[in-house]
Chains A and B, each alone.
Chain A
């Protein structure tokens, strides 16, 4: 055992914190080594001196001051706690209600704009289009409209050569086999129309956009015949149901479109 290595153990030995085997070895060393005995003696004396240090007195005025400050702090924190509790029980329900209402309102606005994006269409452009006079010279069209005159004021005549028929033939067959499109639309005097509301399908934007395009067709192939042929009012609101159905017959299978 080297004296230098024993400094740490001596400090623990003074506290009786050294394990038994190490303590026996250290005691054996101490019997032989006066330097370490001196070191032990000094450590013991140091501990005694530290223990004997006079205890500082705490001024009574200081104790009172700490007690008063603690009481004030406690009072303040209690008030804060009461305020928090009040906020929690009084304000929170209103806050939650208000937030929920705001969220519902925002969702409503979002859904409104997302389903009616097509309605950004300029109404005046359609409405102000002049009707096509070329229809009047087509005898088959005149006969067709004449046969529908009794119901045409409420059910505008679809243009047999128009864009709506083309749409139903080309698009609906591909996309709506046994499916259907239901919309509410305004039909104008010039035979053009615009979607007022989509009832079904609300999610298939491609179909609705194609349908909107067909309704807005402003050439000779407008979706409906002009109002003067139907003797209907300038704007007629209709429900359009476009359905793809399968007709089974003895003849080879074919598909047809029914409005």
Chain B
């Protein structure tokens, strides 16, 4: 039996891997800046899920989230030349997405829209009453499935009632799992402010949930 190759994993290997990754990232960024179509397509494929999920949590509306996701990538395409690589691409894209959602939110406020989520509301993409969708079962126990979905809807509704600055912070921390430092980069504010917004956001969220219970 031929002896197999021995793979040595030590600090040197790790450092070399990090260095290689940094070089790959730098080359990727350079291609993006040069307007390389393939590189930009890769960027979309890599991050579209993350961007869409974030925007869906922030807007609680699938169609709105899709529009904003589209806008985020188009704006990223125009702004990539100014990106200096001080943060990673995901953080940068999230910053663009949040800024876009803010401007959209301001447009809603001007037009007098209010975010509401109801079991009777229609899911435009499926043309089906949202309550009916809850009947579809992924679990063996339909009742358990129903209760889970109900809790989730209640939570999303409570989130949508939070002031925007608290909602951004709570979504980024508790749903997306970013660190305080990363959130401060995305929201372009200090870590102290981020901490304060998360703490107040969670407290407000609890209040909204208890209000919805009664």
Task: State the A residues within 8 Å of B (CB).
Answer: 7-8, 10-12, 14-15, 17, 42-43, 46-47, 49-51, 53-56, 58-59, 62-63, 65-67, 69-71, 73-75, 77-78, 81
Contacts and interface: CB of A to CB of B under 8 A. Distances in A.
Contacts of A54: 152
A19 to B, nearest CB: 11
A56 B66 CA distance: 11
Given A17-B195, A50-B170, A53-B155, A62 B177 contact: no
B94 interface: no
Nearest to A9: B199
B52 to A, nearest CB: 5
Contacts of B206: 42-43, 46
A71 B78 contact: no
Contacts of A43: 202, 206
A53 B152 contact: yes
Given A50-B174, A54-B152, A69-B74, A11 B49 contact: no
A43 B62 CA distance: 28
Given A46-B202, A69-B70, A74 B37 contact: yes
Contacts of A66: 44, 48, 69-70, 73
Contacts of B52: 56, 58, 62
A74 B175 contact: no
Contacts of B174: 46-47, 50-51
B45 A70 contact: no
Interface string B183-200: 000000000000110111
Given A11-B199, A43-B206, A63-B45, A77 B152 contact: no
Given A66-B70, A74-B40, 12 more contacts: A10-B199, A51-B174, A53-B175, A54-B152, A58-B48, A58-B52, A62-B69, A63-B44, A67-B45, A70-B40, A73-B74, A74-B77
B163 interface: no
Given A51-B174, A67-B41, A46 B48 contact: no
B193 to A, nearest CB: 13
Interface centre among A43, A66, A81 (most CB of B within 10 A): A66
B53 interface: yes
B151 A49 contact: yes
Contacts of B66: 62
A56 B56 contact: yes
Contacts of B173: 15
15 contacts: A11-B198, A11-B202, A12-B195, A12-B198, A15-B173, A46-B209, A47-B202, A50-B170, A50-B174, A54-B152, A55-B53, A58-B53, A65-B70, A66-B70, A70-B41
Contacts of A17: 180, 195
A47 B41 CA distance: 34
B47 to A, nearest CB: 10
B85 interface: no
Nearest to B210: A42
Contacts of B180: 15, 17
B196 A8 contact: yes
Interface string B74-96: 10011000000000000000000
Contact of B44 (A7, A55, A70, A75): A70
B35 interface: yes
A11 B195 CA distance: 9
Contacts of B104: none
A29 to B, nearest CB: 17
B49 A58 contact: yes
A67 B44 contact: yes
Nearest to B175: A50
Contact of A77 (B48, B70, B78, B200): B78
Contacts of A12: 195, 198-199
Nearest to A7: B203
Contacts of A69: 70, 73-74
Interface in B141-175: 151-152, 155-156, 170, 173-175
